Amino acid sequence: MEFPSKLIENAVIELSKLPGIGRKTALRLTLHLLKAETETTSSLAEALAKMRFEITYCRTCHNISDTEECGICANKLRDHGMVCVVSDIRDVIAIENTGQYQGVYHVLGGVISPIEGIGPSDLNIDSLLIRIPDSEIKEIILAISPTMEGDTTAFFLSRKLREFPEVNISTIARGIPMGGELEYADEITLGRSIVERQRQAK
Amino acid sequence: MEFPSKLIENAVIELSKLPGIGRKTALRLTLHLLKAETETTSSLAEALAKMRFEITYCRTCHNISDTEECGICANKLRDHGMVCVVSDIRDVIAIENTGQYQGVYHVLGGVISPIEGIGPSDLNIDSLLIRIPDSEIKEIILAISPTMEGDTTAFFLSRKLREFPEVNISTIARGIPMGGELEYADEITLGRSIVERQRQAK
C-alpha cells in the first residue's frame, strides 16, 4: 500500500504495531483522527504517553498504581489475610470485576517460560516470599491460567511456599464454565471436573 | 469496569473513542503498550500528533500531502487531462493501489448529506470548477460511492459541469464485482448490470 504522505505512513506503521491492528485498520484509524478535531488526537497521544511514562507499581503487590501503595493494598476493609497470586494486571482487573473477592493480590508480572527466557528470578516471587513472615497472611490463592507455563509457575510457587506451613495454599476451581456445554468441553477439563466433583449440600 | 489507575483509565477512554475499538480492546492495547518498551508508546504518540498537526493538503486536488502540491499533481508523467473526482482520501489510496489509473484526482472531502448538515459549499466543488477553464482537462470521472448521498453529490456535480461542454463526464462502472456470485447480488445491482451490459469484442 502506498500512502500520499510520510506523516500518514508513519502513523499507520506505528498503529499497526499494536496487537490485532493491521494496516487497513491502522489507516482507517488514522483517517478517522484526521477528520476529527485536533483535540481528539492530542488528548489520545497525551494519554498514551502519560500512561506509559508516569505509571507506577504498588511496592507491596506490584499492581498498577498512581501512588506508592495501590488502592487495594491501602484499603483497610479488605481481607489482608488472603492473597491472590496472579500473573498479570489484567487478571486483577478481571477478578475485581467479579465483585466476589475481598482479599488482596500479588502480581507476578508473567509466568515461568523457558522458551521466552523468563525464569523465576524475572518474576515477583521473592517479594511474595518476603511478604509472608510477620504478616497476617493465612491463605494464598494461586489464580494462574492453567496453561503449561501457568501450571509450571504454580508448581514452582507451591514448592517455595512449603516454607510456610501455617499458610494455606489453594488454586482457583477448574471445571466446566457456567453456561458451557458438556459435549464441547475438552476431555481434560471434563475428566478433571468429574474427578474433582463437588458434593452438593443436602 | 474499574481500573487500578487513573492513567490507565484515561488511556482506555481515549483509545476507545476510536472507531471499532471497545473498552476491552482498548485495555488490551494499553496493557500491551505498558509491557512493551517505552519507545513504542512515545513513537506512537509522536507519530499521531505529528500526523494530525503537520499534515497539509494539496492546493490543487486537496489530497493529503507533505508539500504544497501532492506527488500525484506534481508528477508530469501522469495524464493531467483526466481528473477522477472522489469523496475521500481513502478512495485515492484505493484507486492508486489498483495501479490502473494514470490521471490526477480531485478530493471533495465528503458527500452532500442534508442529514449531517453537509451542503455543496462544505465540499471542494468550487475549486474543481475553477480548475477546469484554461486547463488541459478533457475528462472528469465521477468515482463516488453509489449510496444515496453519493448519487446526490454526483448528480449535483454533473449539473454543475454542464457549464463545460468540452469536458466529458463519466462515472465508474457499476455491476457485479469480480468473483461475485450472481445469486447473492442485490436486485438493483443485478438489474443495472443487465441494462448496462457490455458488448464483447468479436
pLDDT of B1 over the 70 cut: no
Mean pLDDT of the A169-189 span: 82
Residue, of B1 and A42, whose pLDDT is higher: A42
Closest CA to B182 of B192, B194, B190, B174: B190
Q: According to the model, what pLDDT value does residue A14 have?
A: 94
Interface size between A and B, measured as CB pairs under 8 A? 179
- A56, closest residue in chain B (CA to CA): B5
Mean pLDDT of the B78-106 span: 90
Per the CB < 8 Å rule, is A1 touching B97?
yes
In degrees, rounded to 5, the angle at the alpha carbon of residue B61 between the alpha carbons of residues B55 and B67 is: 35
Tally of CA atoms within 13 A in the half-sphere of B102 that contains its CB:
5
Which range is least confidently modeled, A10-19, A124-133, A190-199? A190-199
Chain A residues within an 8 Å CB radius of B48 = 11, 14-15, 30, 33, 41, 44-45
Which range is least confidently modeled, A79-83, A114-118, B3-7, B163-167? B3-7
State the best of B54, B89, B96 to mutate against chain A, taking most chain A CBs within 10 Å: B89
Q: According to the model, what pLDDT value does residue A88 have?
A: 87
Per the CB < 8 Å rule, is A93 touching B4?
yes
CA dist B166 → B14, B106, B125, B143, B169 (Å): 51, 18, 18, 20, 10
Beta strand pairing status for A64-65 and A56-57? antiparallel
DSSP-derived secondary structure for A155-177: HHHHHHGGG-TTSEEEEPPPSPP
Is residue A109 within 8 Å of residue A62, measured between CB atoms?
Answer: yes
- B67, closest residue in chain A (CA to CA): A5
State the best of B51, B65, B118 to mutate against chain A, taking most chain A CBs within 10 Å: B51
Q: According to the model, what pLDDT value does residue A15 have?
A: 94
Q: According to the model, what pLDDT value does residue A134 have?
A: 85
Per the CB < 8 Å rule, is B18 touching A3?
no
- Which residue is listed with cell 508473567? A110
Q: According to the model, what pLDDT value does residue B93 have?
A: 87
DSSP alpha helices (H): ranges in A36-179? 38-54, 71-74, 89-98, 126-131, 148-160
Per the CB < 8 Å rule, is A90 touching B27?
yes
pLDDT of B4 over the 80 cut: no
Closest CA to A84 of A128, A133, A119: A128
Whether the complex's predicted ipTM surpasses the cut of 0.95: no
Q: What pLDDT band is residue A129 in, cutting at 50, 70 and 90?
A: very high
Per the CB < 8 Å rule, is B93 touching A66?
no
pLDDT of A202 over the 90 cut: no
Per the CB < 8 Å rule, is B41 touching A27?
no
State residue B56 phi and psi, 5-degree precision.
-130, 165
A95 dihedral zone (left: phi>0; alpha: psi -120 to 50; beta): alpha
Chain A residues within an 8 Å CB radius of B92 = 4
Q: What pLDDT band is residue A156 in, cutting at 50, 70 and 90?
A: very high
Q: What pLDDT band is residue A1 in, cutting at 50, 70 and 90?
A: low
Per the CB < 8 Å rule, is B46 touching A48?
no
Rounded CA separation B198/B202 (Å): 12
Which domains, and CATH codes, for chain A? 6-54 (1.10.8.420), 82-168 (3.40.1360.10), 172-202 (no CATH)
A51 to chain B, closest Cα gap in Å:
5
B141 to chain A, closest Cα gap in Å:
20
pLDDT of B108 over the 70 cut: yes
Closest CA to A48 of A95, A14, A71: A14
Q: To 10 degrees, what angle do helices A23-35 and B38-54 make?
A: 50
Mean pLDDT of the A46-50 span: 93
Rounded CA separation B14/A3 (Å): 26
CA dist A112 → A58, A70, A72 (Å): 22, 25, 26
Is residue B99 within 8 Å of residue B105, measured between CB atoms?
Answer: no
State the best of A50, A52, A101, A107 to mutate against chain B, taking most chain B CBs within 10 Å: A52
Is residue B78 within 8 Å of residue B136, measured between CB atoms?
Answer: no
Strand arrangement, sheet containing A79-86: A103-107, A79-86, A139-142, A168-171
Element (H, E) at B118: none
Is residue B132 within 8 Å of residue B126, measured between CB atoms?
Answer: no
pLDDT of B198 over the 80 cut: no
B18 to chain A, closest Cα gap in Å:
7
- Which residue is listed with cell 506503521? A13
Per the CB < 8 Å rule, is B14 touching A43?
yes
**Which of A10, A41, A51 has the CB atom closest to B7's CB atom?**
A51
Q: According to the model, what pLDDT value does residue A43 have?
A: 94
Q: According to the model, what pLDDT value does residue B171 have?
A: 87
pLDDT in tens, A60-104: 999 988 888 888 999 999 999 999 999 988 888 888 888 888 999
pLDDT in tens, B42-53: 999 999 999 999
Chain mean pLDDT for chain B: 89
Is residue B14 within 8 Å of residue A44, measured between CB atoms?
Answer: yes
pLDDT of B16 over the 90 cut: yes
Chain B residues within an 8 Å CB radius of A92 = 4
**Which of A6, A30, A31 has the CB atom closest to B66's CB atom?**
A6
In total, chain B counts a number of residues equal to 202
State residue B104 phi and psi, 5-degree precision.
-110, 180
Residue, of B2 and B158, whose pLDDT is higher: B158
Q: According to the model, what pLDDT value does residue A90 have?
A: 85
Mean pLDDT of the A23-46 span: 91
Rounded CA separation B56/B48 (Å): 14
Residue, of A8 and B202, whose pLDDT is higher: A8
Chain B residues within an 8 Å CB radius of A55 = 5, 7-8, 34
In degrees, rounded to 5, the angle at the alpha carbon of residue B187 between the alpha carbons of residues B183 and B189 is: 95
Chain mean pLDDT for chain A: 89
DSSP annotation of A140:
E
**Residue % of chain B over a pLDDT of 70:** 99
